[in-house]
């Protein structure tokens, strides 16, 4: 894998992959598997949520808020994601990686409340990581 990474970076020095937590449930993969598999190419982490149960409201890659009914990601999954990042050495203040998130209000939900809830989930998972 290292040879392949070196070859790609020789051709395109700014090549990298964004790892998106909201996609893991749609492909039935774990944080550990995805991050370890893509490790040499990762330059950005992205978090969000998805509903993978067919027929459910907001089914698919709709980026509902954390805790949305029938959704796959919430504090526990984000904590697991952060733990894997820590174990794999990605949480390093000397060489930080980009972390972004994507959630959106569903129907009549208030965007400010969705954003505040997302921050609470992130802060809670981070606090649990530090314990």
pLDDT in tens, 24-47: 999 999 999 999 999 988 999 999
Sheet holding 98-102, edge to edge: 17-20, 42-48, 98-102
The pair of three-digit structure tokens given for residue 37, joined into one six-digit string: 């598999």
Q: What is the mean pLDDT of residues 53-66?
A: 95
Confidence of residue 6 (pLDDT cuts 50, 70, 90): low
Rounded Cα–Cα distance for residues 1 and 28 (Å): 23
Q: Which residue has the tokens 């550990």?
A: 32
Give this prediction's pTM. 0.89
Among 38, 37, 59, 39, smallest CA distance to 50 is for 59
* DSSP structure class, residue 53: S
The pair of three-digit structure tokens given for residue 126, joined into one six-digit string: 């981070």
Confidence of residue 130 (pLDDT cuts 50, 70, 90): confident
């Amino acid at each position: 894998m290292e040879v392949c990474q070196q070859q790609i970076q020789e051709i395109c020095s700014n090549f990298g992959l964004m790892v998106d937590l909201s996609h893991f449930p749609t492909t039935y993969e774990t944080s550990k598997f995805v991050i370890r598999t893509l490790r040499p190419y990762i330059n950005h982490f992205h978090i969000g949520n998805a509903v993978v149960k067919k027929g459910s409201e907001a089914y698919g890659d709709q980026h509902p808020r954390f805790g949305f009914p029938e959704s796959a990601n919430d504090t526990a999954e984000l904590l697991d994601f952060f733990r894997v990042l820590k174990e794999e050495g990605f949480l390093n203040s000397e060489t930080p990686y980009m972390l972004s998130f994507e959630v959106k209000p569903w129907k009549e939900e208030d965007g400010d409340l969705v954003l505040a809830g997302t921050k609470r989930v992130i802060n809670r998972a981070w606090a649990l990581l530090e314990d």
